[in-house]
Every structure is written in C-alpha cells, then in structure tokens.
Structure 1
Amino acid sequence: MLSNPLHATTEFVPLGGLDRLAEHLPTAWIEEALSATGTASIRRRRLPAEQVVWLVIALALYRGQSMPEVLASLDPALPSASDRPVSKSAVTQARQRLGAAPMQSLFNQTARAWCAQDAERHAWKGLSLWAMDGTTFRAPDSADDCLVRMRVSPQARAKSPELPEPWTARAVRMVCASGKQRTLLTSLLDRRRYKAEALAECYRRRWEIETSYRELKQSMLGEALTLRSQQPEGVEQEIWGALIAYNLVSLEMAKAAIQAKVEPTDLSFLRALHILQHEMIWAVGMAPGKLPAHLLRLR
C-alpha cells in the first residue's frame, strides 16, 4: 500500500524482486538514457528518475494491479531520510518529470543490445530476421518461383532518388496455413542458397510478430481497454515501458530456451510472465545471496 513506509537508502538499487530482470538492464544503461535526454535527477528526490524508469516498466508487468499494489509488491528503496509514505501525487509528478523521451531512448538502446545477444544462434542461414507489419498487394499469377519486374512509383523515387525505375524481385508461390495460395516477393534472388521451400517456411515466421502483439496486449496488459495514463506524455511513456517490459520477459524466455535446447517460440509467454511475477514478489523476502542460485534453477 502507498501508506506503507518505504525504507531509505543513499544509493540507487534495482527495485526489490527485479534482480533477475535487472541483470539484463544495467543501471548504467538507464543512467545513459536519462543523461542523453536531460532527465537525470540532479538533486536527491524520494523518487529518483532511475527508479521511476523501473516503476514505468513494472506498470506493464503488473498490469492487473493498482499503483499502490505495484509499489507494495516492488517495495522500492527510496533515497529519503524519513519513513513518510509516497503519495499518489508524488508518483504522478515523478512520471511527469521523467517524460517519454528517456523510455524511448532506453528502448532503442536495449533493443540493439538484446538483439545482438545470441544473434548467431537465432539467425536464419546467417541472416538476421526482421518483421515489418504493413499491407499487401495483389499480383498476377505467375510461375511458382520466378523473377518479376515492378515499376517503382514516382512518389517513392522522389523521396529516394537512388531507387531504380524498375525493381527486380523474386516471386515465390506458397500455400498459407488457411490453404490459400499467396505470392511471396523477396530480394533474395539466389535460388541455390535460398530455396523456395525454405523461403516459404521462413515467411511463416513473419506471423510471430502477430503473436507478440497478442502476448503484449492480451497476456501482459490483460486486454485492458485503456492505459493508466491520461496525459499524452504519460501515455507515450507508459507504452515505452510496456515494450521494455515485454522485451525483458522475452529475453529471459530466450535464455531459458537456450539452456533447454528448444526454440523460444516453444515456450509459453503467459507462463513465463506468471513465473516472473510470482518470483519477483516472493524474492523480496529472500536473502540476496540465495537469489542467483534460485533464479537459475527456474530456467
């Protein structure tokens, strides 16, 4: 509860129970994001910017709990000499001071670093896989695997003059899970290295991004119709926090998958989220020296 006294400390430490996730998100990264956006805490506050970052991330991890319950579960150590409770207005003001820019900066920084981890293990034929969600275009039927030439629009060439007038692509016909035939366009023209069957199988992995959206919005945020924040800056800040929280859970799943010698997609996101939520609450009362060994066994 917000009325519970929060113990004081003179140095920043990760929020209680977040030790496992804090291994992936060093304090130095948070400080760098705050410094780069000019939002670092210059003077001692009861809610320093570093801990507000973790609080915003925790809002996504504990989506089904109120703000007082989130603070009570995390039991943050605040740099204050008094045992006065942290009021709701103090939390609101702290989030307003933080803004959205540090969360966006931290997301970009962590996304680059985490993508580089174990990149070779998750590569496909030596290539990194990236997904972009967008729209589709209908094309005339052609051979199952052929080259096509498409005209680049004047609008596209005006924005990017280096684009050629015609664009050569490879069209591979495939059958999707629903049984419908679709045409996959790709710039990978080497048929010997990138066989049509392998491309079709790789394309099916593109739908994993839809699974990620469902995990983020339904499993983690509980299909909530609205976010907590009411101000535009707070909404943007909360979204960046949710994205970082989702990536933290996914990263821990990837690490566990490596040890289990399975694919991360073979693991249940909802189960992993519940385990981390319960363990973070339970870990508050555990001796710090026992945490690493216990959390390692969870994997």
Structure 2
Amino acid sequence: MVRAGQVSGDESLPGGRLTDHIELGVLARAFPRDLLEEVLDVTGRREKRVRRLPAHVMIRYVIAQGLFFGSGSEEVMRQLVGSLRHLGSWSDDWQVPSTSAIAQTRARLGAEPLRELFRRAAVPVAGYGTKGAWLAGLRLMSIDGTGLDVADTEANVAAFGRMSTGPKASAFPKVHLVTLSECGTHAVLAAEAGGCRTGERTLAAGLLDALEPDMLLLADAGFYSWQLWHDATGAALAWRIGASVSLPLVRALPDGSYLGLLFDPSVKTARRQVLLTAARAGQEVPGKQAQLVRAVEFTVPDRNPDGELVCLITTILDPARISATELAGAYAQRWEHESALDEIKTHLRGGGQVLRSKSPDMVEQEIYGLLLAHYGVRELMCHAADEAGHDPDRLSFARSVRVVRRQVTDQAAFPP
C-alpha cells in the first residue's frame, strides 16, 4: 500500500519528498518504521544529510524488489507510488528516482541493514492454535538448502564460484543458501549464504543461535555430523542419519524405538566398546565422546520397490512424551521446507531467474530482500489462517502474493 503523508501547512496538498510517503502497507506491520530506524542506528547506515532516497525508504524498496522481482528498478518505484496522482496526492515537482540514483543509494545502504532487519523481524509466526505447527508442545522446525544463480560478473565469480569447472561449468555463479524454517507456516527465521562449494553443514552451523527450547528441529541425513549435532543444543532434535553412522543398541523401548549410542568419530573401537558397556549398565557416558539417543526406524513406501528405510535419531528419549509413530509422522513435515524454498525461488524470484546484483554485497542485500518479502507474506497468511481456523498450508502462496502486490500498487491513504 502506498501512503501519502500530511505535513504542516495546507493539509490538502502533499509535502516533502516523494519518497517520504512510501510504505509497503500490507507488509509494514512486519517491518514497522521504528524497527527500520533501530536497524539503521545499530548498523551505522543512517544518512548524514537529507537525500531524496533516505535509508529507511531504501530498506522498504529492497523488500519491494523481492516482491516485484521481475520488474526493473524504476518500475518497482513506480509501482509503489503510481496511485498517488490518481488520489490527488501527487506534487508536480516529484520525480521517480532514476535507475542510477536507486543503484547508488542501494550501494550506500549495503547488505548489513537488511541482514540485521531479517535477524530482528523474522521471529516465530505460529501461535499455539496454529494448525500443523506443533508436536507435543514443540514448534516443528527444519533446515534445508538450495542454490541461487547470480549475475555473471568477475566479483560474483570470485566470491561464489561456479558449479564444476571447464566446459561443464555452470552458466552463472551460484550462491548456496541454507535456511531455518517453521514447518507449519513456511516462515524462514534464519539464513546463511555462501559460495556454491560451501558445505551445507558449514552454513547450518550459523543457524544454531536461532534455535529455542520450544523447538523440535528436523533435518535430513546430509546435515548430520557429530559436531553439528553436538553443537545444536538450543532445541530438541530429530535428524535422519545414513547407514554409515554407527549406532549400536543400548536398550529396546516399548513403542518400537530403541536407545542407541552415538559416537564422536575420533573415538577408537576399543574405547567405544567400553562406553557401550557402561551405557548398557545404565551408567553415564562422557558427552564429549558419546551421546545416548533414541532411534526410530521406519519404511517410506513407493520410494523404491522395497520401500526406503529411514533411521531417525532424536534427543527426546522418553517415548511417553512423543511416540515413535508421532516422530515418524513429524519427519514428513520436513518436506514443507522444500515448499518454502520453492515459494521464494519460483513465486517471488520467478523460475529460472537470475539475481541481478553485480557485486557480492548487493547479492546478499537482494537475497535478504527476497527473504523479508517472503516472511512478510507468510506472516500475513498465518494470521489469516488462524483467524479462519485453518491450517496455513491450505492457503495458496501464489494467490497471496498476487493479493499483496495489488495492495501495494492499488491503495493509498493519508496516515493518521
């Protein structure tokens, strides 16, 4: 939504700079002006002199770019302010800033304010009544990764690299993005980006600070390592492990799951046997060498002729809290993360589209603009679903984006 502000003097006419009156109305609730000002103060990016495009406006503009990804720089600005003249809120001396002016102001702003805004604004969305978001009082979360093509410049190639080399090299440099997502709402709450050859586990380590005690974090086998599992202490965990991970039986449990002993890979075979014997006798084992976990094994049908065997390990040792059947069902919610990434890559960015920024800092800024736009839409969808008593998954993300875009371009009002 575009809003035209009133100023002192003749209240029937707009005043000040055109950009003083720009707001992403339906998304402004997620990113209020006071929060933008705090972010600019913390990051030291507040402008030192009056400019036609102040820093707080450029933050909103970058989010708008994420919402209108396929549009050019000036067109995004026009979409934000196009309804002002129709409503009699246009001053003849206002001009839409040029592409060059917008690019220069984006560069001055940098990526840090967008990163900080995302860190502060992207908080858990699901309420206790949100359908499909909780299991036994724990908020279902997941981690997953994806790749994004970026503009083919020397700076981007140096920073992010290409997949493969020589004649088989990817046409564009590629960013590797790993995110922490709320399964029930698809809201992304934390993100780490790096070069295309940066491992998922390396990037996932940067997400651990966002974990909270009321969360149950789901992850696929590709994310498991002793170190990452050992460091992810901020939440309950339920991760798949591969066949190469040793997990000897300690004790069978009545719900069909069992307690097993997870080892630091550096522990020698003889020492493992000593630790296993102690665990089976009910003794504590040193946490730096081994950890008692609960394992749930189940088969996923239709993945191959014999079904696919999944081994899920969890820090929730008591079957009375969450049964093996409930854990297996919860793990299926991890696939919701892939849907969230598809929403960003297909419905916001557009299938096959390339991030336009030509420098690594601007690429990062652009990525956070996309993430903030996605979060704002998903927050609105969750509130709408909660009020109607529906699961947020029943609402169409693509349709919601179209509604938000219409709100941005079609509405304007004088603020109170």
Q: TM-score range by the shorter chain?
A: 0.7 to 0.9
Larger radius of gyration: 2
> 8 Å contact 2:74–2:96 — kept in the other structure?
no
Question: The residue matched to 2:141 in structure 1 has which SS?
Answer: coil
2:382 paired residue number = 254
1:272 matched to 2:400? The reply is yes
1:168 paired residue number = 292
**Distance 1:187-1:240 versus aligned 2 partners, 3 A rule:** same
State the 1:118 CA deviation: 2.3
Note the 1:116-131 alignment, pairs <5 A.
118=127, 121=130, 122-131=133-142
Question: The residue matched to 1:132 in structure 2 has which SS?
Answer: strand
Aligned-pair identity in percent equals 32
Distance between the aligned counterparts of 2:352 and 2:41, measured in 1?
33
> 8 Å contact 1:170–1:187 — kept in the other structure?
yes
Note the 1:1-299 alignment, pairs <5 A.
9=16, 15-16=22-23, 18-75=24-81, 82-112=93-123, 115=124, 118=127, 121=130, 122-133=133-144, 135=222, 136-138=241-243, 139=245, 144-154=256-266, 163-176=287-300, 178=303, 179-284=307-412, 287=413
Structure 2: runs of 5 or more not aligned: 1-13, 85-90, 145-199, 201-221, 223-240, 268-285
Distance between the aligned counterparts of 1:119 and 1:58, measured in 2?
30
**Distance 1:36-1:117 versus aligned 2 partners, 3 A rule:** farther
Distance between the aligned counterparts of 1:140 and 1:232, measured in 2?
41
Question: The residue matched to 2:135 in structure 1 has which SS?
Answer: coil
**Distance 1:13-1:258 versus aligned 2 partners, 3 A rule:** farther
TM-score by length of 1: 0.82
Bigger helix share = 1
Bigger strand share = 2
**Distance 1:8-1:62 versus aligned 2 partners, 3 A rule:** farther
Question: The residue matched to 2:70 in structure 1 has which SS?
Answer: coil
1:296 paired residue number = none
Question: The residue matched to 2:334 in structure 1 has which SS?
Answer: helix
> 8 Å contact 1:8–1:83 — kept in the other structure?
no
Question: The residue matched to 2:351 in structure 1 has which SS?
Answer: coil
> 8 Å contact 2:67–2:373 — kept in the other structure?
yes
Structure 1: runs of 5 or more not aligned: 1-6, 156-161, 290-299
1:3 paired residue number = none
Which 10-residue stretch deviates more, 130-139 or 213-222?
A: 130-139
State the 1:116 CA deviation: 5.9
Tell me the C-alpha RMSD between the 2 structures. Answer: 2.8
State the 1:164 CA deviation: 2.6
State the 1:175 CA deviation: 2.8
Aligned length: 271
TM-score by length of 2: 0.60
